[in-house]
Amino acid sequence: MKAVIQRVSRAKVTVGERVTGEISKGFLVLLGVMDGDTEEQMKLLAKKVSEIRIFNDENDKMNLSLSQVSGSVLVVSQFTLCADVSHGRRPSFTPSAAPNAAKDLYEKFCKEIKNLGISDVQTGEFGADMKVELLNDGPVTIIMNTDEWMKK
Protein backbone atom coordinates (compact mmCIF):
# COMPACT_ATOMS: atom_id res chain seq x y z
CA MET A 1 0.00 0.00 0.00
CA LYS A 2 1.08 3.50 -0.70
CA ALA A 3 -0.02 6.66 1.07
CA VAL A 4 0.69 10.33 0.83
CA ILE A 5 0.12 11.95 4.22
CA GLN A 6 -0.36 15.71 4.26
CA ARG A 7 -0.57 17.65 7.50
CA VAL A 8 -3.44 20.05 6.93
CA SER A 9 -5.18 22.95 8.59
CA ARG A 10 -8.28 21.92 6.67
CA ALA A 11 -9.31 19.58 3.86
CA LYS A 12 -12.52 18.77 2.02
CA VAL A 13 -13.69 16.29 -0.64
CA THR A 14 -16.67 16.87 -2.87
CA VAL A 15 -18.40 14.65 -5.40
CA GLY A 16 -20.45 16.88 -7.67
CA GLU A 17 -21.96 19.42 -5.29
CA ARG A 18 -21.99 17.04 -2.29
CA VAL A 19 -19.32 17.21 0.44
CA THR A 20 -18.39 13.62 1.37
CA GLY A 21 -15.74 14.46 3.95
CA GLU A 22 -14.36 17.57 5.62
CA ILE A 23 -11.86 18.08 8.44
CA SER A 24 -9.98 20.84 10.16
CA LYS A 25 -6.57 20.12 11.76
CA GLY A 26 -5.28 16.68 10.88
CA PHE A 27 -4.16 14.52 7.98
CA LEU A 28 -5.30 14.20 4.42
CA VAL A 29 -4.37 10.64 3.46
CA LEU A 30 -4.26 9.75 -0.22
CA LEU A 31 -4.36 5.94 -0.22
CA GLY A 32 -3.27 3.67 -3.06
CA VAL A 33 -3.92 -0.06 -2.81
CA MET A 34 -1.55 -2.21 -4.88
CA ASP A 35 -2.29 -5.63 -6.36
CA GLY A 36 -1.31 -8.19 -3.71
CA ASP A 37 -1.58 -5.86 -0.71
CA THR A 38 -2.64 -7.62 2.49
CA GLU A 39 -4.51 -6.87 5.70
CA GLU A 40 -1.16 -7.07 7.48
CA GLN A 41 0.13 -4.20 5.34
CA MET A 42 -3.10 -2.25 5.87
CA LYS A 43 -2.80 -2.58 9.65
CA LEU A 44 0.87 -1.61 9.57
CA LEU A 45 0.11 1.49 7.51
CA ALA A 46 -2.86 2.50 9.70
CA LYS A 47 -0.70 2.18 12.83
CA LYS A 48 2.08 4.25 11.27
CA VAL A 49 -0.36 6.97 10.18
CA SER A 50 -2.05 7.13 13.57
CA GLU A 51 1.24 7.30 15.49
CA ILE A 52 3.55 9.41 13.29
CA ARG A 53 4.70 12.50 15.17
CA ILE A 54 4.60 15.40 12.72
CA PHE A 55 2.70 18.06 14.66
CA ASN A 56 4.68 20.76 16.42
CA ASP A 57 5.07 20.76 20.19
CA GLU A 58 5.53 23.80 22.44
CA ASN A 59 9.17 24.06 21.26
CA ASP A 60 8.10 24.11 17.59
CA LYS A 61 9.59 20.63 17.08
CA MET A 62 7.65 17.96 15.16
CA ASN A 63 7.01 15.73 18.14
CA LEU A 64 3.25 15.21 18.50
CA SER A 65 0.95 12.59 17.00
CA LEU A 66 -2.54 12.96 15.62
CA SER A 67 -4.20 11.86 18.85
CA GLN A 68 -2.08 14.26 20.90
CA VAL A 69 -3.46 17.22 18.96
CA SER A 70 -7.03 15.83 18.70
CA GLY A 71 -6.64 15.73 14.93
CA SER A 72 -8.90 14.28 12.28
CA VAL A 73 -8.21 12.17 9.21
CA LEU A 74 -9.65 12.49 5.72
CA VAL A 75 -8.91 9.35 3.68
CA VAL A 76 -9.19 9.51 -0.11
CA SER A 77 -8.74 6.45 -2.29
CA GLN A 78 -6.28 7.22 -5.08
CA PHE A 79 -5.36 4.38 -7.42
CA THR A 80 -3.11 6.71 -9.43
CA LEU A 81 -0.51 6.44 -6.64
CA CYS A 82 0.08 2.92 -7.92
CA ALA A 83 0.95 4.04 -11.46
CA ASP A 84 3.94 2.57 -13.24
CA VAL A 85 5.66 5.35 -15.18
CA SER A 86 8.84 3.46 -16.03
CA HIS A 87 8.03 3.08 -19.74
CA GLY A 88 6.84 5.65 -22.23
CA ARG A 89 4.78 8.70 -21.43
CA ARG A 90 1.46 7.14 -20.49
CA PRO A 91 1.18 5.68 -16.98
CA SER A 92 0.14 2.08 -16.52
CA PHE A 93 -2.24 1.34 -13.69
CA THR A 94 -1.88 -2.46 -13.78
CA PRO A 95 0.00 -2.42 -10.42
CA SER A 96 -3.23 -1.19 -8.77
CA ALA A 97 -5.45 -3.67 -6.98
CA ALA A 98 -8.71 -4.70 -8.63
CA PRO A 99 -11.54 -2.35 -7.58
CA ASN A 100 -13.30 -4.80 -5.22
CA ALA A 101 -10.07 -5.73 -3.42
CA ALA A 102 -8.98 -2.10 -3.24
CA LYS A 103 -12.33 -0.94 -1.85
CA ASP A 104 -12.24 -3.67 0.80
CA LEU A 105 -8.76 -2.68 2.05
CA TYR A 106 -9.63 1.04 1.82
CA GLU A 107 -12.71 0.55 4.03
CA LYS A 108 -10.77 -1.65 6.46
CA PHE A 109 -8.01 0.99 6.62
CA CYS A 110 -10.57 3.65 7.61
CA LYS A 111 -12.02 1.37 10.31
CA GLU A 112 -8.55 0.48 11.59
CA ILE A 113 -7.65 4.18 11.99
CA LYS A 114 -10.78 4.56 14.14
CA ASN A 115 -9.88 1.41 16.11
CA LEU A 116 -6.49 2.99 16.84
CA GLY A 117 -8.15 5.88 18.65
CA ILE A 118 -8.74 8.52 15.99
CA SER A 119 -12.40 9.37 16.48
CA ASP A 120 -12.96 11.66 13.48
CA VAL A 121 -12.25 9.75 10.27
CA GLN A 122 -13.83 11.20 7.14
CA THR A 123 -13.69 9.76 3.63
CA GLY A 124 -14.05 10.51 -0.02
CA GLU A 125 -16.21 8.26 -2.19
CA PHE A 126 -14.46 5.22 -3.56
CA GLY A 127 -14.31 5.20 -7.36
CA ALA A 128 -15.94 8.60 -7.77
CA ASP A 129 -14.62 11.66 -9.56
CA MET A 130 -13.67 13.72 -6.51
CA LYS A 131 -12.48 17.26 -5.98
CA VAL A 132 -10.03 17.58 -3.10
CA GLU A 133 -9.32 20.92 -1.43
CA LEU A 134 -6.70 21.36 1.26
CA LEU A 135 -4.58 23.84 3.11
CA ASN A 136 -1.27 22.05 3.66
CA ASP A 137 0.22 23.04 7.02
CA GLY A 138 3.97 23.54 6.81
CA PRO A 139 3.90 22.20 4.18
CA VAL A 140 4.42 18.74 5.62
CA THR A 141 3.98 15.83 3.20
CA ILE A 142 5.15 12.27 3.92
CA ILE A 143 5.13 9.36 1.47
CA MET A 144 4.65 5.87 2.93
CA ASN A 145 5.04 2.57 1.10
CA THR A 146 4.46 -0.71 2.92
CA ASP A 147 6.26 -2.69 0.19
CA GLU A 148 9.48 -0.95 1.18
CA TRP A 149 8.90 -1.71 4.88
CA MET A 150 8.11 -5.37 4.26
CA LYS A 151 11.46 -5.85 2.50
CA LYS A 152 13.40 -4.73 5.58
Number of residues assigned to the chain: 152
Sign of torsion over alpha carbons 42, 44, 41, 91: positive
Tell me whether residue 123 is one of the annotated catalytic residues. Answer: no
Q: Find the catalytic residue in 6, 14, 41, 79.
A: 79
Q: Find the catalytic residue in 38, 68, 80, 93.
A: 80
In angstroms, the Cα distances linking 109 to 86, 103, 135, 145 are 28, 10, 23, 14
Tell me whether residue 27 is one of the annotated catalytic residues. Answer: no
Q: Find the catalytic residue in 6, 14, 41, 78.
A: 78
Tell me whether residue 55 is one of the annotated catalytic residues. Answer: no
Looking at residue 7, its amino acid is R
Rounded CA-CA distance 50/46 in Å is 6
Active-site residue numbers?
78-80
